[in-house]
Amino acid sequence: MTKSTMKFKTEVSQLLELVTHSLYSNKEIFIRELVSNASDALDKLRLEGLRDKNILENNTDFKIKVDFNKDAETITITDNGIGMTKDEIIDNIGTIAKSGTKEFFARLKDLKSDDKDAKAEQLIGQFGVGFYSAFIVSEKIVIYSKKAGSSEPAVKWESDGKEKFSIEEFKKHDRGTEVILYLNKENFDFASEWRIKEIVKKYSDYISYPIVMTVEREEKPKDKDGKEIKDAEPITKYEDTILNSMKAIWQKDKKHISDEDYNEFYKHISHDWEEPLDRIHLSVEGMLSYKALLYLPKKPPYDLFLREAKIGVSLYVKNVFIMDDNKNLLPEYLRFIKGVVDSADLPLNVSREILQEDKMLEKIKTNLVKKVLETLKKMKEKDSDKYLEFYTAFCKVLKEGLYTDHENKDKLAELVMFESTKTDKGKLTSLKDYVSRMPEDQKEIYFIAGEKRDIIENSPHIEKFKAKDYEVLFFTDPIDEFITNGLFEYEKKAIKSIGKGEIDLGDDETVKKEKEEETKKFKSLLETIKDNLKDEVKEVRVSARLTSSAVCLVSDEHGMTPNMEKLFKSMNQEVPKTKRILEINAKHPLFEALNSIYDKNKEDSRLKDYSELLYDQALLTEGAQLKDPVKFAQKMADLMALEARS
């Protein structure tokens, strides 16, 4: 293959521009990122070696080498891991975060200028593009790589981090990857033994493979008895020294792990630049033995809601990496959690298929979920500000558990929070606090669903509830109403939509009798309105929930609300057309006037116009779009003109 030059994708060029213009406040992080990539390559090779020993080529001396050359002003990081083919090196380094790049730059663009550098650094971490941090200190980077077990030739990749990179075949017989950084003049000081040792110890001490450096030592020659020859010239020797302890952090006693060590390990496994919000370190012994170190991030990763998003917990067996993206360790609604689980009781050559059937793994999963939910509940009770930070970031995925995890539904119900008619805008309340405020005569928990609080808090549906001092929860997340399919009640109190079915607010017999009389009085008018709107509504009835508004639309008790229809349509689900119920406020003077028109002339053309206007009005009050806004405007104008003439 001849040498070919290719342009970076547009988004990579933009990213490199950011990186090389002081995006990172801490330049030394580039060593952590490259060592972390080398560790990942060794993990992948080790896993493939469990399936096919031939891929190891009789070389199981896994290690990472970090060397420097003061004269050449270079740093070289080498691993004998899985390596890359030509296509893989273009894929992995020529593009970034594939499906997330648009979102990355959209979010970057939204950052305020006063904290843009700091926030951009966090975004870089979320989008997993730490390799590019090496361009902060380098004027050029060269990569040599050969894929283990592949017949494809090794490749050489080279770039100055601007617009282009070159790629060509290269003679390299050993598997793995070698990254050479040609330092720029502002960063020559990184090419020193003490500096590299300090950085590796600080950020990568827990890496489970030896990080080796060849160091130069001078020593006096020795005689045959092993004694130094005093007047002899010193001789130069080169020896390999291991820079890291290699003890897996999750295997250590908590008492011997600092917060800094915990945080650096989190950054290693998550590629996040921020510290975690919280952590869970477990060491379980007995019939079931395992160790786990789990982290709650502060911010959601860019791919949290993408179909290809991975579970963030890796499985180890006796300190040997087995697999990441292990859906048998945590359910999908906890996919934002990062960490590792290490069990000595599982077979080392385990396959994904065996794991899917493993009862021991199912028990570990049960225990982990229990511990995570307990940790969140404790955080909510003891540190509400911290919990709100978590909840704001991850509530949407946490709520998924309410209809996917029946076993832990009650525990999850303790964690969810909503705005309500009794909270200030932006403030949240829990179901537990809601119930504690319920008047004695209130029997159910009420909610209204919609896109925005500003719209639904002024909805006609709420009028009677406010009059009776019944609190109504605001379900403004698209998923909120959906979770009631799994969460029917809380503390034996039904959770009910105020926009569906008949509402019984405990009215006395006098009020109920009054409603029956109103229904009888307006019976013919209601039938006429229903006939005029036969294509839109299935029923017109006197309302028990309106006090000041003229009309509102409600769904059947088991029907689908407009909010649910939107949710299903957003998921590309076909939604059959459903007719709703138009409820009228019989005490509103409008209906006495309409009834008078009806009594005088049942065929009066205005009745149809008024029926359509009432239906459109009901749509507008719930924030829905009118089918024909122009027609509505014309009818309103005609009505105003008629009123002005009379």
Pick the range with the lowest mean pLDDT from 205-209, 227-231, 344-348: 344-348
Please state at what angle helix 359-382 crosses helix 384-404, rounded to 10 degrees: 140
d(CA 415, CA 426): 17
Q: What CATH superfamily classification does 509-645 receive?
A: Heat shock protein 90, C-terminal domain (1.20.120.790)
Pick the range with the lowest mean pLDDT from 147-151, 205-209, 534-538, 629-633: 205-209
In the chain, where does the domain assigned CATH 3.40.50.11260 lie?
A: 416-497
In the chain, where does the domain assigned CATH 3.30.565.10 lie?
A: 4-241
What pLDDT is recorded for position 128? Answer: 47
Helices (H), 205-341: 259-270
Helices (H), 283-383: 352-357, 359-382
d(CA 534, CA 26): 68
DSSP E strands, 254-337: 278-284, 290-296, 313-317, 320-323
Pick the range with the lowest mean pLDDT from 354-363, 456-465, 504-513: 354-363
- Is 426 in contact with 419 (CB distance < 8 Å)? yes
Residue listed under structure tokens 């005029």? 532
What pLDDT is recorded for position 97? Answer: 40
Two structure tokens written together for 587 = 């005490």
Two structure tokens written together for 567 = 């949710």
d(CA 314, CA 608): 65
Q: What is the end-to-end Cα distance of the chain in Å, rounded?
A: 90
Q: Which helix (H) or strand (E) holds 168?
A: strand 164-170
What pLDDT is recorded for position 108? Answer: 55
Topology (CATH level 3) of domain 249-381: Ribosomal Protein S5; domain 2 (3.30.230)
**Nearest to 274, CA basis, from 109, 123, 114, 390:** 123
In this prediction, what percent of the chain has a pLDDT beyond 90?
A: 46
Q: What is the CATH number that goes with domain 416-497?
A: 3.40.50.11260
- Is 610 in contact with 533 (CB distance < 8 Å)? no
**Nearest to 107, CA basis, from 301, 391, 387:** 301
- Is 458 in contact with 472 (CB distance < 8 Å)? no
Q: What is the CATH number that goes with domain 4-241?
A: 3.30.565.10
Mean pLDDT of 125-152: 82
Torsion of CA 310, 312, 313, 315, to 10 degrees: 40
Distances in Å between the Cα of 225 and the Cα atoms of 221, 222, 228 are 11, 8, 9
The average confidence (pLDDT) of the chain is 85
Pick the range with the lowest mean pLDDT from 85-94, 472-481, 540-549, 611-620: 85-94
* Range among 113-122, 332-341, 561-570 rated most confident: 332-341
DSSP symbol at 242: E
**Nearest to 368, CA basis, from 343, 350, 387:** 343
DSSP symbol at 456: H
pLDDT: which is higher, 292 or 203: 292
188-198 pLDDT, tens digit per residue, is 999 999 999 99
Q: Residue 244 in 3-state DSSP?
A: coil
Two structure tokens written together for 450 = 């919609």
375-405 pLDDT, tens digit per residue, is 999 999 999 999 999 999 999 999 999 989 9
In the chain, where does the domain assigned CATH 1.20.120.790 lie?
A: 509-645
Q: Which helix (H) or strand (E) holds 217?
A: strand 211-219
Ramachandran area for residue 517 (φ above 0: left; ψ -120 to 50: alpha; else beta): alpha
What pLDDT is recorded for position 356? Answer: 54
Two structure tokens written together for 613 = 């206007």
